[in-house]
Amino acid sequence: MATLVLDNGAYTAKIGYSQEKVSVIPNCQFRSKTSRLKTFTANQLDEIKDPSGLFYILPFQKGYLVNWDVQRKVWDHLFGKEMFKVEFADTSVVITEPYFNFTSIQESMNEILFEEYQFQSALRINAGSLSAHHYFHTKPSELCCLVVDSGFSFTHISPYCRSKKMKEGISSQLHVMDETHVINQVKEDVCYVSQQFYKDMEIAQMKGEENAVMRDYVLPDFSSIKKGFCKPREEMVYNGKYKTGEQILRLANERFVVPEILFQPSDIGIQEMGIPEAIVHSIQSLPEEMQPHLYQNIILTGGNTLFPGFRERLEAELRSLVPAHLPVSVLLPANPICYSWEGGKLLAHSPDYDEMVVTREDYEENGHCICEEKFDI
């Protein structure tokens, strides 16, 4: 019996069999602004000659799976002949979903997994729970950890104690992202988290070479330049135009202002806490004896945590907010995007796995209530 692990994120799907390696694939369809009739699914993006005008059609909105037509098409593609060639009757699936997912979405998920695809068994679980499983597996002596999962549409902060989710300490923040494919690439290539925001702001306003923040980003033209990139500093032209005729996007404070929203959402008028305050708020809502263990075991997952400077800034801000006698430790794993998927892979091989799943037989006999009983969402 094979087990397929699918961390179904709002931006990318992390997928692979528990015996194999993970693949990271766009969890969306793309439609081009020019030929609106043609739709590309997931990694078919690689076949497109000119992705400049592409826009995403995402199955997720505001962090929840709402567009089932798109999600089904992506899953059909992933499970089908071109990709994972799933033999549903002999396959168990581990699939992630957001915290406090709506009952209607949970029930649609059961129906699609058991009635349409007819998987032999399924486990629906939060990505944070898989990350916690991964962490406790690598550090068995630790009692608690706090998973900070900062991704495309949400940041979730979730405390775990002895691998049990502490629901009262979970908090979520929504990020409004609505970008084209190219702009997203720019963000991944040039953005960073500032350690001294106002100092960087001053530098970003300087002229010429004194402006150490400024970068020129060469936009792709999809004939000779397939993917955008940053001009090396020594090749930058500070005054006048480039002779090369490339399309240049000049970036200065944009490089650190975009990720700053994660730390200071009030700067753009969003009335909620930044990630450091939200962590403290979450930990303080839990019993006092747990708190030191949580501050010492903060684990970062999700794509936003890859912004250079993210971990350092978070640790520094927490240090200033947390009582001086409590040690603070923030860990960025080698691959934060696939950390929870790896946790799912470990779980699939654990002796408890068979107890956790719902089989198709169970579902056919008892319907949604057996899933509600077994899955802790």
Residues 252 and 277 in one domain: no
pTM check: above 0.85: yes
Residues 28 and 103 in one domain: yes
β-sheet bridge partners, residue 367: none
Give me the number of domains the chain comprises: 3
pLDDT of residue 179: 63
Here the CATH number for the domain that contains residue 104 is 3.30.420.40
pLDDT of residue 263: 94
Residues 233 and 299 in one domain: no
Residues 173 and 188 in one domain: no
**What are the DSSP calls for 238-298, one per residue?**
-SS--TT---EEEESTHHHHHHHHHH-GGGGT--S--HHHHHHHHHHTS-GGGHHHHHT-E
Residues 79 and 187 in one domain: no
Residues 324 and 202 in one domain: no
Range of the domain at 83: 2-127+337-374
Domain boundary among 236, 258, 280: 258
Residues 353 and 208 in one domain: no
Query: Counting beta carbons within 10 angstroms of the beta carbon of residue 127, is it exposed (0 to 12), middle (13 to 18) or buried (19 or more)?
Result: buried
Q: Give the residues of the chain that fall short of pLDDT 50.
A: none
pLDDT of residue 35: 64
pLDDT of residue 269: 78
CA 29 to chain centre: 17
pLDDT of residue 225: 82
Residues 60 and 111 in one domain: yes
Residues 8 and 109 in one domain: yes
Residues 277 and 218 in one domain: no
pLDDT of residue 203: 96
Kindly state the DSSP code that residue 196 receives in the 8-state scheme. Answer: S
Here the CATH number for the domain that contains residue 215 is 3.90.640
Say if CB 110 and CB 22 are below 8 A apart.
Answer: no
Residues 275 and 203 in one domain: no
- Count other Cβ atoms within 10 Å, centred on residue 73: 18
Residues 14 and 100 in one domain: yes
pLDDT of residue 176: 65
- The span from the CA of 334 to the CA of 301, in Å, is 10
- The span from the CA of 245 to the CA of 252, in Å, is 21
pLDDT of residue 37: 64
Domain boundary among 258, 286, 321: 258
